[in-house]
Structure 1
């Protein structure tokens, strides 16, 4: 080992002593005992101990300073780069964390934790390819690592490889964290029923899991199953009564279900803890207006629009409150601002019409009333269409396609630009044997919405049946593009490619189907058939 001259040794000790004095004199003040220890022994072990002390107190920037000094004294340490990188990552300094974590990984390539933190840092920096490599390396170290599976699955989903992501997670979906990640991928694929079932089953086995409960409630909200979301949240709140994010979600659900008696005290409690929070100010204002307390509602809604002036709903509710307080001029300003921000509810035009009438602007008021009536008519048309569509669904399920066709046509008379309704009509026509009209209606459906995967898949099926493999392939590819989780379309695409003797592409397509549904009988049969054909070639 190379020795230092007495003069250089004295210089190093002086530098370290000065560094110790700077550490104790600045914002990063360790305990008195550690400061004394540092003055007596300004070495790597002492700085590491100080870093740990700061880390335990979540003072990560100070911890990073201490670990950095320790590493300068022990540059060959395998542990210190990890501790430095972890502290920098925890403090939000991602750019600084990556070199330290990379050094840790290079010096100890079989350690799992440094790779996981490095992968997470790279992902947050949008360096996706590098992150993916680290997640893969982590899985080679520990194939059961939950964090690595979640990380790699999210990278695959971001690439559009949803089948690969689902296959990676499905075998471990009993783990709560894995179930949450898999459900989030289902949500991205608009597979809300699958997400709900997965989370419900997982929560039954892990009833105290907060992430499972909040994710399930969020999925319920997307499905507009508000009562179900309230039930999930209420149970979770009993188990986790102090979690602020859960309480906020519960409040949102309570407002949607109209449970004001529970929502009002909760809203006041949360606002007291976060008095400048836009959402809490807004929800308190809405609840106070509903309770007839216009004065308090005005105060909170004015604070809400000051906190975030770009939310139309806040301006709308403030406008209603101001009108109730006989301030039509200010109400007009707020309601017009809501419209400018993109609000489309007919009630805004109605409320603005009343305010304009109060201000003597009768011509403008009449125009707003006309817009209100038009909006109500459109809403009524949507309501009629929804009712007729539901009746059509029931008729089709009971085996009466002719009745279903009649009902779907009535629904389309009300809302002709509804792509899904056109698809439903096409299926009824198919059941009735009217293939020519079905083709026309399906083409209309994808003209309205090219991403309607079910319609693309059915058009592909019709094209395949009439022997037009090129058109069939095009429609099946459009179906899986629009809905990568659509296993049936992957099977149909594989079969079409197989008929064109494009066996390698067909095998890839059927593999995608089996990643989504490992027990899909059509996919399994097609896989075996393709394997036999390629073996015989």
Structure 2
């Protein structure tokens, strides 16, 4: 709500402080011929001529207070607030106790939006004329505009003691209460304003804002509806309804409100950004991208808009466009963890893993994306063979999120490949504590058991994998090899057969099946499997005369 307007007849909704120049008592008192002529010119509508005459008289040495007062009034009527303020300042200097000079000077400052000087002049006006209550109202309003709502309370309260139902004073009091963190009292005063004037859009707007902040959605809905009824194109009401729609998960309605806002105020960044968010939430990434694009044109320095536009492009599988947006966002703010995270993901998809690694490593530990970034960093280092560093990354993840089975499993893999079987075993076992049905963890333990030639443990672990529903030919093959090592030839034959049922061209399984059958005295069958094995993979002929190796 504007407390001071540029309308001469309605300055801060109070009686004008500018004394009318056609005041008969004033003319009679001064007996000034200049003033009389100025009055005549003014009555004829010749304000500029009247102002020139008064200015020349003052410059010529006529320092009658009435001349200054008349000149200031005419300049104010002509909306030349700078000149009027200068004239009233001269009058106040000429007669420091002049009854209207300080007040009128304050009104001019208010129209110039010079609230600090307006407050000083209103304060002086109240000192000069203690009966001038409108100076108290002006002082309170000016102090609100100078972000001094606590100081504004005293003059407004004094004014309300004299005029308890004055709408603008009540409104100013409500604003002061709102800005000083006394929302309940502010609401009550705003309601008093509405009781006097149900069509006060400013009071309704402020109530909407307050109840939005308090998340009182029913009250927001009520006052926003009242505001919309008064002003169908009220952006405050429409923004409130959009906010409620977002909160309710009604993104279709949110998009409708935001689209209306963007059409009503097309040069406002927030309208397009919010429209993009609504479409994004609906899964309409094409329209989201269009809205975000418009937002970035209005505010190219918004890293968040560039980030959201990049995400929309990424959802549309336009990785190049997404990457461009993320890179622009980082130019705006190189510390944006969310941007680094998304750009790194795109770089991974574009096989630029080295750069992705660097970005993941730059994400700060206090960022929400840090854990996931640390995991991806560990994974990339695992892929390129930096197993020690990879294991460290996965352990850092577990420090923050101890119940993370994937991090625990990958730590085990990294430890195993870096030659630290004890640490690997512990990680795989911890994975099984978190996720007992993790076949990957059992497979890791089985591989460790085989490497350490602990065939008893390896056999049990492979049987567990089978119980977990794993049926890959490699699993059956490894289980069969273990059985052969343990002398369980018949079991080995059954498992080799299951491996071959899954993959009849599994050359190693064919070869070792032959060895197992030969050990059981089934020479013809053994030779048949060997022939098939060598047909599938001729180089196996070199190991034809060797026993199977796990």
If the length of structure 1 is used for normalisation, what is the TM-score? 0.49
Larger Rg: 2
- Structure number with higher relative contact order (C-alpha < 8 Å, ≥ 6 residues apart): 1
If the length of structure 2 is used for normalisation, what is the TM-score? 0.48
